[in-house]
Amino acid sequence: MSWLSREGNHTVFWAHGATRSSRKGTAMNRRETMSQFGKEALLQANISELLPFASLDEDQTRKMIDLATVQRVKPNKTYFDEGDRAENFFLLIDGFLRIVRTTKEGDQVVVLHIAPGQMFGIAKAFESVNYTATAQAASEGLALSWPSELWDKFIQDYPGFQKATRRAVGTRVIEMQDKLISMATHQVERRIAHAILRLLEQAGKETEDGVAIDFPLTRQDISEMTGTTLHSVSRCLSKWQRDGLVRSERRRVVVRQPESLPV
């Protein structure tokens, strides 16, 4: 999963954690051109296996990467904020992030999660001038970005790209629908179970102890995903731990018996 190992394994970032002083941090992150960073590394690595590039040859892939900017974001900082002018679109290379919307009252709701290989900030796909949500790093992350003006060019030049974006949008719509259904029909416990399972799919990592969710995840994160309070989440996880279904520590959840979770 952390194929870009010489850039640091993100489990390391995790171990060091980050002072989550505020959940509202504007991005003040390093930006480096691809050449500085060494695009050879990305080419050699299996970046071309990542989704939108799938049906491109090496030459095309290189062209796309040449045009990209690398962006590195610390935990709880943002790639962009709700309402910002949508100047770029992104491809997540490493790390995880949550797409968050905030209400006037200040409640945060996690609308979806993005895993490596997925695109985000694709306002262009919606004919939107601004981002409609905030992209916040759950763990330290690495993303490629392109100026939005290139969007239409990519669509024209790279036939696979259009398909990939459509599929991405489709997946999201379904994911959001599922979430909606879960919220509408299920009790808190089942909603939490659902959320955990979905994260497991996206970011599951086998360990000797069970499947771990491969980025730091607090009770509050889960509560924001499921529309409940961190207290309820805590109670729920405690109960599951008593029953041996999961092992949960600080910012970390390992699921031992995914099947036994109350679907």
Cβ distance 139 to 215 under 8 Å? yes
Closest CA to 75 of 145, 115, 27: 27
By CB under 7 A, tell whether 104 contacts DNA.
no
> 């290139």: which residue's tokens?
150
Quick one: how far is CA 50 from the chain centroid? Answer: 14
Of 60, 162, 232, 260, the residue at the interface with DNA (CB under 7 A) is 232
By CB under 8 A, tell whether 126 contacts a second copy.
yes
By CB under 8 A, tell whether 45 contacts a second copy.
no
Residue span 161-180 as binding mask against a second copy, x where in contact by CB under 8 A, dash where not: --x--xx-xxxxxx-xx-xx
Torsion angles phi and psi, residue 262, rounded to 5: -70, 100
Cβ distance 65 to 33 under 8 Å? no
By CB under 8 A, tell whether 105 contacts a second copy.
yes
By CB under 7 A, tell whether 238 contacts DNA.
yes
By CB under 8 A, tell whether 156 contacts a second copy.
no
Cβ distance 23 to 225 under 8 Å? no
Q: How far is the CB of 79 from DNA (least distance, A)?
A: 19
- Give long-range contacts, CB 8 A cutoff, 24+ apart: 178-181: 179/111, 179/112
By CB under 7 A, tell whether 220 contacts DNA.
yes
Q: Which stretch binds DNA (CB under 7 A): 11-19, 57-65, 78-86, 130-138?
A: 11-19
Which residues of this chain interact with a second copy, rule CB under 8 A? 101, 103, 105, 107, 109, 111, 125-128, 132-133, 163, 166-167, 169-174, 176-177, 179-181, 183-185, 224, 226-227
